[in-house]
Amino acid sequence: MVKTETCAYLCAMLKHSPTLHLLLATVLLAAGQAAWSQPASGTLDTDTGCPLVRMSIEHLPDLNLPRASHIAFMAGDEVVVVGGHTTGFVLTPTAEYLRDGRWHLIDTPYPHDYALSVALRSGRVLVAGGMEQDLGIGQRFSAEFFDPATHSFTDYGCLDCKRSFASAIELNAGRVAISGNWYNKDGTEIYDGMGHFGTARPTRVERACPYMFKISQTDALIFSRLDTHGQFMDSIVVETLGGQVVDVPLLRTWHPLQVRPNMFRSDDSFIGDTAQGSYAYLLPVEDSLGRVAVARVDSTRFSLLHTTHPVPCQTPWGPIFYTAAHFVADRAAGRAYLTGQVANRLVVLCVDYARAHTGQAAPVSLYYTDPLPVIGDAVMPVLTPAGNLLMTGGMSPDNYNPTASVLLLRVSEKADAAFATNKLGLRWLWPVALAVAALLFIYVRARRKRLGMLSEADAALTEADAVQAGNDAVQTETNTPSPESLALMDRITRLTEGERPYLIPDLKVSDVASQLHVTPRRVSESINAVCGCTFSQLISTYRIRHAQQLLTDDPDKKITVVCTESGFASETTFFRTFKALTGMTPTEWLQQTRL
């Protein structure tokens, strides 16, 4: 807390400084606008006559790591992302979950890039397979379970067949059927629910990214348009888990909307009722003319869903590229969504399937966003508890770099209270925190000048240091370090002591963050929470320790050389830092060590 004297001094500064007054007012105004402004809705028409409705969008806190090809799912009212690859196509053995307005980073036993996942009725989530190496190379055997109650992962053996671009679906008694592969042999195997993966049975054709639709408690359909090398197959073979081929006339003229390899979650498309013995799904399909339609799958019967308008493929801004290969169904609302892009806009096809009765058509509409600066490509949307869509990360289509952005697309009349609270908190907290940090910085400088204590190092303090101070100020001093902070601090320590980046004179917190594939804010928060100091103070400590070692090893070494070899940019800063940390000058310290 700021003392009364400090508050009074800051108020006086604001009163006599129009520039600071204007700065703070501008920051607060911008914070308010960012927090409360929402785009209005409007309606246009597509080329098919399908209503085109403007969709509001919320920017939630960014992920700790830019990610693509990761897994995303809801665990209660928390969204969880697992694995994927980060900048440079580097695999990341981490996951993170959104709670209390920020993403919490946790480690996973293995990295999972282009992996399979399935949410089990027990509440746990099975995650398995994926790429074995960076740059999308190889396949992986490893499997693990995520427990949302403890936010922890447990290593759980390995698949019978190493896989990537595979799919899975839960059967009865906790059993899971798994199929599909990428540049490796395919086969269907069963996890028995008790810790064992059975031997993979060969399939009729080898597939990548297969759809798996359960047709009973013990059986499911398996099919895909893509072979294990991502090429379109001449014909689509639909088979059961036992290998029985199912004849589907519809798939002779209409094909699943798999324009490229894309991960698939079968439960997302489920619109049936297992209690009533109904196993029904929605499937996006296209024909040879490029027309897109909605197919309904009831057990082994495939048919086109009658809709009020043809599925649009053109908009006023250009053609639609449907990036998802499957629908996300909101069974409570009786609606299903298919995501896509138009230039630099996101679009969502909405199908009100519950309103389709005998002889009646299902209403369709197309939601769209305003232009966005960056759109993550090939992202699996997540359905929130309120019925909205959450998009996490993704790959920028222009440079293939993953993004850390998290977007909440409002396709429901309901609001996700937890996300809205988080959004408002971050929208106004950071600008205000930075403004307060800047005012505190100015106050400290002015007070030190009056006391004649302003040093050369203080004078060199930059605006980036003030921002860093604002980041550190957000960390609550009374909180004990979280497991995430402790884990990241361990990585920071290993990097610092192993590679000794502190010997670089112009080292920045962003340099360390880049090597650890986390944000600078996370590095600062972890150092502050665990060590109780700033990044600059920690680096200074390492530099002085290094200088002491140099002096101990070679007492005759010139101080100028010690200063340079310890990472200091100037002798003045070196002397001041040395005395501040040890209470002595380098010469005094050296003399004392000789006694």
- Confirm if 488 and 530 have CB atoms less than 8 A apart: no
Rounded CA gap, 501 and 509, in Å?
Answer: 11
Share of the chain above pLDDT 70, in %: 80
pLDDT of residue 434: 55
In whole angstroms, give the CA distance from residue 231 to residue 238. 17
Q: Which of 45-54, 202-211, 233-242, 312-321 has the lowest mean pLDDT?
A: 45-54
- Last residue of a domain, which of 530, 548, 566? 548
Predicted local confidence at residue 431, as pLDDT? 52
Please check the confidence at residue 37 and state whether its pLDDT lies above 70.
no
List phi, psi (to 5°) of 548.
-60, -40
One domain for residues 307 and 362: yes
Q: Using DSSP, state whether 38 is helix, strand or coil.
A: coil
Is residue 47 assigned to a domain? Answer: yes
pLDDT tens profile 522-565: 899 989 888 889 999 999 999 999 999 898 888 888 888 899 99
Residues 410 and 426 in one domain: no
Inform me whether the pLDDT recorded for 378 exceeds 90: no
- Over residues 336-347, the mean pLDDT reads 92
The residues, any chain, with a CB within 8 Å of residue 413's CB and separated by 6 or more, are none
CB 230 within 8 A of CB 219: no
Domain boundary residue among 355, 383, 415? 415
CB 146 within 8 A of CB 128: no
Q: Is residue 378 a contact partner of residue 28, using CB atoms and an 8 Å limit? A: no
One domain for residues 342 and 320: yes
Q: Residue 274: what pLDDT? A: 86
User: What is residue 61's predicted lDDT score, i.e. its pLDDT?
Assistant: 92
Is the same domain home to 427 and 539? yes
Beta bridge partners of 143: 128
Residue type, 47: D
Q: For residue 163, which of 122, 210, 195 has the smallest C-alpha distance?
A: 210
- For residue 458, what pLDDT is reported? 40
- How large is the angle between the packed helices 586-594 and 535-553, nearest 10 degrees? 50
- Answer yes or no: do 465 and 533 share one domain: yes
Residue 6 has pLDDT above 50, yes or no: no
Q: Please tell me the predicted confidence (pLDDT) of residue 324.
A: 87
Q: Provide mean pLDDT across the span 279-298.
A: 95
What is the C-alpha separation between 512 and 507, in angstroms, rounded? 8
Distance, in Å, from the CA atom of 300 to the CA atom of 268, rounded to the nearest integer, reads 18
Answer yes or no: do 360 and 439 share one domain: no
Residue 408, in any domain of the structure: yes
Is 507 a member of any domain?
yes
Q: Which residues share a beta bridge with 319?
A: 314
Instruction: Evaluate whether residue 215 is within a structural domain.
Output: no
Q: Which of 150, 152, 131 shows the shortest CA–CA distance to 142?
A: 131
Of 589, 583, 517, 513, give the one whose Cα is nearest residue 551. Answer: 589
pLDDT digits (tens, 9 = 90+) for 60-102: 999 999 999 999 999 888 999 999 999 888 999 999 999 988 9
Question: Quick one: average pLDDT of 130-155?
Answer: 92
- The count of other CB atoms within 10 Å of the CB of residue 202 is 11
Number of domains in the chain: 2
Residues 157-189: tens digit of each pLDDT: 899 999 999 999 999 989 999 999 999 999 999
The answer on 438 and 362 residing in a single domain is no
pLDDT at position 307: 94
SS3 103: strand
DSSP code of residue 129: -
pLDDT interval class at 463 (50, 70, 90):
very low
Mean pLDDT of 400-415: 89
Cβ neighbours for 450, distance < 8 A, ≥ 6 positions apart: none
Assess whether 513 and 539 both reside in one domain.
Answer: yes
State residue 31's pLDDT score: 38
**pLDDT (mean) for 470-474:** 43
Nearest residue to 85 via CA among 407, 378, 373:
378
Specify if 556 maps to a domain: no
**Which contacts (CB < 8 Å, 24+ apart) does range 546-554 have?**
546/500, 546/502, 546/503, 547/574, 547/578, 547/586, 548/589, 551/586, 551/589, 551/590, 551/593, 552/593
> Does position 432 have pLDDT exceeding 80, yes or no?
no
Q: In the structure, what pLDDT confidence band is assigned to residue 45 with cuts at 50, 70 and 90?
A: low
Q: In which domain, by residue range, is 22 found?
A: 4-30+422-548
pLDDT tens digits, one per residue of 485-528: 888 888 898 889 888 999 998 899 999 988 888 888 889 998 98
Same domain, 430 and 344: no
For residues 78 and 382, is the Cβ–Cβ distance under 8 A?
A: no
Domain boundary pick from 370, 397, 415: 415
Say if 514 falls within a structural domain: yes
374/447 same-domain check: no
Q: Are 222 and 264 in contact (CB under 8 A)?
A: no
pLDDT of residue 453: 42
Mean pLDDT for all residues in the chain: 82
d(CA 271, CA 351): 12
* pTM for the whole structure: 0.66
pLDDT of residue 480: 66
pLDDT at 445 (0 to 100): 57
Pick the range with the lowest mean pLDDT from 139-153, 375-389, 537-551: 375-389
Q: Are residues 469 and 393 in the same domain?
A: no
Instruction: Say how far apart CA 282 and CA 450 lie, in whole Å.
Output: 73
Q: Is the pLDDT of residue 194 over 80?
A: yes
Residues 388 and 432 in one domain: no
The residue-averaged pLDDT of 468-490 equals: 60
Angle value at C-alpha 240, between 238 and 245, nearest 5 degrees: 50
The answer as to whether 205 is a domain residue is no
**% residues pLDDT > 90 (the chain):** 54
Amino acid 421: pLDDT: 44
Q: According to the 3-state scheme, what is the secondary structure of 352-393?
A: CHHHCCCCCCECEEEEECCCCCCCCECCCCEECCCCCEEEEC
